[in-house]
Structure 1
Amino acid sequence: MVKLGLYFKADLENVTDLLPAADYEWHFKIQCASCRETDSSWISFNRQDEYEMTHSKGTANLVMKCKFCKRESSALFETNAPIHAYNNSGKFQKIATFDCRGLELVDFSPRDPWSAKGTETATPFEDIDLLELEWADYDEKAGEPVGISNIEVEFRKEK
């Protein structure tokens, strides 16, 4: 079992509280811990779905078999670790924690929908699409451009 923290970094321009939607579908590149092969497809799962694991009484948010060695693996959102809003412009911040068994998350694609608030006005911005790793809009209340750019992610082993 490996516990992985997903750390997110972006430059925020006049926005704060960047957060994926409650029913957000998280997209990852996944590497098998047994054969070390990485699936070329983006594999997605969310916090709401739960699947039974073969040969176990437990459940996970993702249960899959490796395309290469056929071993079963799973990933589960840490239930006692909430999804955190990103506020630290230009610095890595943990946004989620996963319990991984038989797999490692090696890349993350921040697809839509995300939300954020205007820094000065708390104007809500919904359905933010970060697939292109940047987003721009205009906060009419503040009379300022808003944006998100220079997105980076990394995974860190947690205790």
Structure 2
Amino acid sequence: MVNYLLKITAELENLTNLQPQGGCDDPNFSYLFKVKCGRCGEVSQKETCVTLSETVALPAGKATTNLMQKCKFCGRDGTITMIPGQGKPLTDEASQAGKYAPLMQFDCRGYEPLEYIEGTKFDDIDLSAGEFSEYDEKGECPVMISNLRSTFDVVK
């Protein structure tokens, strides 16, 4: 078992907090990333989708996980379980300092998460193109998110 903490950073202009719509522990926010099999090293061709509100029972029947998947190359089963309560918004101060903000922690057994796909919505902001820019009529100023980067850090 290894826990991975997904963290993001970006350059924010006239924005104070960047987080998934509904907060970091939003049960309906989908995290998309590629995974690597811990046994054979095969990287998934398609991105894997993990959502806090979607669970499956483990074969032993006593616990649940958010994803159970079989490696298409070696046939080994792996699971990814989300651990809420670790996420925080990316603040303007952290962004300016080049610091990363934690989004979600994942307990991974048999898989390693790779290449977080930023093509999902954060507070009604579509980052599928990797950046966002618009004019805030109410605040009378441009808003922008650019240079979005992510990392998975191993945590204990």
The two structures have a TM-score, normalised by structure 1, of: 0.87
Counterpart of 2:119 in structure 1 is 111
Partner SS, residue 8 of structure 2: strand
CA drift of 1:52 comes to 1.3
Counterpart of 2:13 in structure 1 is 13
The one of 59, 65, 70 aligned to 1:60: 65
Relative to 1, partners in 2 of residues 1:47 and 1:148: Cα closer, same or farther, differing over 3 Å? Answer: same
Matches within 5 A, 1:86-101: 86-87=90-91, 88-89=94-95, 90-101=98-109
Q: Distance in 2 between the 1:107 and 1:39 partners?
A: 11
Identity of aligned residues (%): 34
Question: 70-79 vs 53-62, which deviates more?
Answer: 53-62
The one of 130, 135, 157 aligned to 2:132: 135
1:35 aligns with 2:40: yes
Unaligned 5+ segments in structure 2 are none
- Provide the alpha-carbon RMSD of the alignment: 1.3
CA drift of 1:25 comes to 1.1
1:150 aligns with 2:147: yes
Unaligned 5+ segments in structure 1 are 116-126
Matches within 5 A, 1:42-81: 42-55=47-60, 57-79=62-84, 81=85
Q: Distance in 2 between the 1:112 and 1:94 partners?
A: 16
* Cα distance per residue 1:3-57 (max 9 Å; x no partner): 0011101001101221112211110100011111101111111010110123463
CA drift of 1:112 comes to 2.5
Aligned length: 147
The two structures have a TM-score, normalised by structure 2, of: 0.88
